[in-house]
Amino acid sequence: MYHGYNGPVAPESVALQCRGLSKRYGDVTAVDGVDLTVLRGECFGLLGPNGAGKTTTIEILEGLLPADAGQLSVLGQQWARDATSLRPRLGIQLQDTQLADKLTVHETLRLFRSFYRTGPTVDALLDTVALGAKRDAWVSTLSGGQTQRLSVACALAGQPELLFLDEPTTGLDPQSRRQLWAVLEEFRRQGGTILVTTHYMDEAHALCDRVGIMDHGRLIALGTPRELVASLGADHVVEFAVTGGVALADAAVRQLAGVRDWRREGAHLSLATSELHLTVPALLDLLRAHGATLSQLTTHSATLDDVFVTLTGRQLGDE
Partner 1 sequence: MSERARRGWRDGLQGWWNHPHPLIELTLSRGRQFLRDPEAVFWVFGFPLIMTFALGIAFRSRGPEPVIAGVVDQAGSDQITAALERAGGFTVRLIAIADVERAVRDGRAPVLIVPGTPPTYRFDEARPESQVARLAVDRALQWAAGRRDAFTPIEQPVQTVGSRYIDWLVPGLLGMNIMGSGMWGVGFAIVQARSKKLLKRLVATPMSKAHYLLSQVLSLLLFLGLEVTVIVGFAWVAFDVTVQGALWSLGVVALFGALAFGGLGLLLASRARTVEAVSGLMNLVMLPMWVLSGVFFAATNFPDVMLPAIRALPLTALVDALRVVSNEGQPLSTVAPELGVLTAWGVVSFALSLRWFRWQ
Q: Footprint of partner 1 on this chain (CB under 8 A)? A: 62, 64, 84, 87-88, 90, 92, 94, 96-100, 102-103, 107, 110-116, 121, 138, 154, 157-158
Q: Would you call 211 helix, strand, or coil by DSSP?
A: strand
Measured in degrees and rounded to the nearest 5, phi and psi for residue 270 equal -130, 140
- Nearest-approach distance from CB 167 to partner 1, in angstroms: 13
User: Which residue, 110 or 263, is less far from partner 1 as judged by CB?
Assistant: 110
- Nearest-approach distance from CB 29 to partner 1, in angstroms: 21
DSSP state letter for 239 = E
- Nearest-approach distance from CB 111 to partner 1, in angstroms: 5
User: Which residue, 61 or 131, is less far from partner 1 as judged by CB?
Assistant: 61
User: Which residue, 71 or 97, is less far from partner 1 as judged by CB?
Assistant: 97
Residue-wise over 128-138: b if at least 16 C-beta within 10 A, else e? bbebeebeeee
- DSSP string computed for 77-99: B-HHHHHHHHGGGEEEE-TT---
User: Which residue, 84 or 175, is less far from partner 1 as judged by CB?
Assistant: 84
Neighbours of 318 (CB within 10 A): 10
- Nearest-approach distance from CB 75 to partner 1, in angstroms: 14
Distance, CA of 279 to CA of 276 (rounded, Å): 5
User: Which residue, 112 or 308, is less far from partner 1 as judged by CB?
Assistant: 112
Q: Which of 233, 239, 241 is nearest to 258 (CA)?
A: 233
The burial class, CB within 10 Å (0-12 / 13-18 / 19+), for 105 is buried
User: Which residue, 75 or 103, is less far from partner 1 as judged by CB?
Assistant: 103
Q: Which of 248, 308, 245, 246 is nearest to 272 (CA)?
A: 308
- Nearest-approach distance from CB 46 to partner 1, in angstroms: 18
- Nearest-approach distance from CB 125 to partner 1, in angstroms: 13
**Which residues, 6+ apart, have CB-to-CB distance to 281 below 8 Å?**
none
User: Which residue, 62 or 203, is less far from partner 1 as judged by CB?
Assistant: 62
- Nearest-approach distance from CB 119 to partner 1, in angstroms: 10
- Strand locations in 66-215 (E): 69-74, 90-93, 162-166, 193-198, 210-215
- Nearest-approach distance from CB 60 to partner 1, in angstroms: 13
Distance, CA of 94 to CA of 30 (rounded, Å): 18
User: Which residue, 98 or 190, is less far from partner 1 as judged by CB?
Assistant: 98
In DSSP terms, which residues pair with 241 in a beta bridge? Answer: 268, 296
Strands 268-273 and 259-265: antiparallel
